[in-house]
Chain A
């Protein structure tokens, strides 16, 4: 944003009466140069009757303090399994984290004992789930459910526990928090329920929050309020957020950096403006272009032909090749592409079959 437009924005706000509240503080810089979570070559597989499903096939990324990373992809691209793997919640069997490292504040989570992991889960790293209707237990009051994590991780009881619960509810802007704490989930609206799930997530001051499509079931205005809330919490606490979503609108609004996943691998990752202004992989391009725009009348949408591949029967080499619209020989598609840094912090899975400007970067790879 230029300084000029910033000025006009502040002017606008001051003109407004106190009752009309406009919020223009999105995109404030919160990223700090300190890596909290570093994932290296993570592989998660499931053994099924069709064969081994490589749900996550060697992905690596870093998350800095106060940064929001968006992991984008279709259903079945492995983004949710990634989040479960980070929490070590992959059901085993049939699932298994085959290899890799998940370093959280310098500790490899994959090497921890189950007992230590229980302390990390919901403590240092927490998960906000998609559906607030099912993420909350209808049989327990809000106080019990928010308090559970606080009790386990901070060992407080009685009156001070209740105070902490009320604080957590206040931090997600739930009005009359001390009364709401006694309520049961069915007494709250959808937006309020999602806030309670958020309160559980942040109650133990985690360093990383994984938000798995937290707003898909919410209305536009409630979604806006919830995303704003997450940003505010991030500003206050400097928590790193991993946003798992298929919606590029949320990415545009929330994320600092984006990783696009396809068939269990990251095909492109860069900061959010590079992804929107200069996408290199055909899949990223198509994903961005397939969304109608609110800002102007959109012409016919670009559609990605076909379906995402079955993960137990992946095409050899470049898994996006069968859906790519570029011209390439069968031999090119058979080469398994590598993720290469094409410019600073811009990584692309380089292949002739799905990168149009392959020639420009051909010197970076030896195939």
Chain B
């Protein structure tokens, strides 16, 4: 099977190049190209394809997003709620079908995969969810929760599965005897460990982590984050980390993309982006983040208005309705989407329009002094 996939990969390694996507197909696990997910809301009453009463609105949850997830590395998606980061995760997991765009798994387009190929894909891409109270079935024992993927996707016998479940629990820091317990007998951190064990069961290559620590106590967060980092090093796992906490992203991620209204605004090597954020939105997010010491007194950059609804966003730059700078309505990018532009010669990309780059006064001073 593995050899067959390899062959296929070679025959169609024609993943189109996109701005900001710098990892080669060989080094990436998943490559996302021009991905869109639009939902129809407030549907119009139509007759033979013509709208008669009202008009259909489009909620553009994800709008033309491209990025690479490198092998064995963590790719972070940050943004406020409603920016499309979770939808992007769902699209990679094939829980939603994209409106347009492609997802390439090791060079192979997921949409064109055969049934057997899709089974392989689903085995290789797993997920850990935010709420450890809602993501485990309260009526199943831990051994069934963790063993379920093994029962479905492998031909292992009952004894083999029981052994593997025991090993997995040990690996995430639980005890083998706990496999007979029900989820309610565990604390939040332990439940999240069970969720991680379930995701690991099929030896995946990529795990989508959707806010894996935000529902946990601060002291438990460190345990889970360290566990995730250890597992990554041990199994050469790639992660897509979806989070709104910037400090978590800086700690976990190798590359980071900042999303706003379904569009990536800034992307690049995590340290490069955090040390020199270019986009006003990135600066605003960082300035609002909580300090780690009382002496750090950051000036907060407050954007005018509230987060705009993703229903019928502006056809040009999505950020134009929130920028504190003056928008020239006749400018090309007021009506057309601006592309990502490279900053310097580094792995650092940003949407550059006359109103989206932070001026010197707006630049966040993380140290705050």
Which residues on A are within 8 Å of B, measured CB to CB? 1, 5, 9, 12-13, 15-17, 19-24, 26-27, 74-75, 189-191, 219-225, 228, 246-253, 255, 272-273, 276, 286-287, 290-298, 300-305, 307
* Neighbour of A219 across the interface among B81, B188, B221, CB < 8 A: B81
**For A5, A75, A220, A255, which residue has the most chain B Cβ atoms within 10 angstroms?**
A220
**8 A Cβ contacts from B213-240 to A:** 217-223, 225-226, 229
What is the bound-complex CA distance between A342 and B53, given in angstroms? 75
* Complex: chain A residue closest to B245, CB-CB: A220
A-contact bits for B307-320, CB 8 A (1 contact / 0 none) = 10000000000000
A290:B218 contact, CB within 8 angstroms = yes
* Neighbour of B361 across the interface among A12, A24, A220, A221, CB < 8 A: A12
Distance (Å) between the CB of A172 and the closest chain B CB?
A: 15
Distance (Å) between the CB of B354 and the closest chain A CB?
A: 15
Given the interface pairs A5-B369, A295-B366, A301-B225, the reply to whether A24 lies near B324 with Cβ below 8 Å is no
What is the bound-complex CA distance between A255 and B293, given in angstroms? 11
* Complex: chain B residue closest to A17, CB-CB: B324
B299:A22 contact, CB within 8 angstroms = yes
Distance (Å) between the CB of A155 and the closest chain B CB?
A: 36
Which of B8-16, B177-185, B281-289 participates in binding chain A?
Answer: B281-289
What is the bound-complex CA distance between A79 and B245, given in angstroms? 24
A294:B292 contact, CB within 8 angstroms = yes
Contacts A220-B245, A221-B303 aside, 12 further interface pairs with beta carbons under 8 A come to A1-B295, A13-B299, A22-B301, A247-B218, A249-B292, A251-B294, A252-B291, A291-B221, A292-B250, A303-B223, A304-B222, A307-B190
* Neighbour of B222 across the interface among A220, A273, A303, CB < 8 A: A303
Distance (Å) between the CB of B227 and the closest chain A CB?
A: 9
A20:B251 contact, CB within 8 angstroms = no
What is the bound-complex CA distance between A300 and B295, given in angstroms? 23
What is the bound-complex CA distance between A220 and B282, given in angstroms? 12
Given the interface pairs A23-B300, A189-B306, A253-B291, the reply to whether A301 lies near B222 with Cβ below 8 Å is yes
Question: Which residues in A have their C-beta under 8 angstroms from that of B117?
Answer: none
Is the CB of B290 closer than 8 A to any CB of chain A?
yes
Q: List 29 A-B contacts (CB under 8 A).
A: A19-B324, A20-B301, A20-B302, A22-B300, A22-B301, A23-B300, A27-B294, A220-B246, A221-B285, A224-B287, A246-B218, A247-B218, A248-B218, A252-B294, A252-B296, A272-B294, A276-B293, A290-B221, A290-B222, A291-B218, A291-B247, A291-B292, A293-B250, A294-B290, A295-B292, A300-B229, A301-B251, A303-B219, A305-B223
Distance (Å) between the CB of B1 and the closest chain A CB?
A: 37
Is the CB of B149 closer than 8 A to any CB of chain A?
no
What is the bound-complex CA distance between A248 and B286, given in angstroms? 17
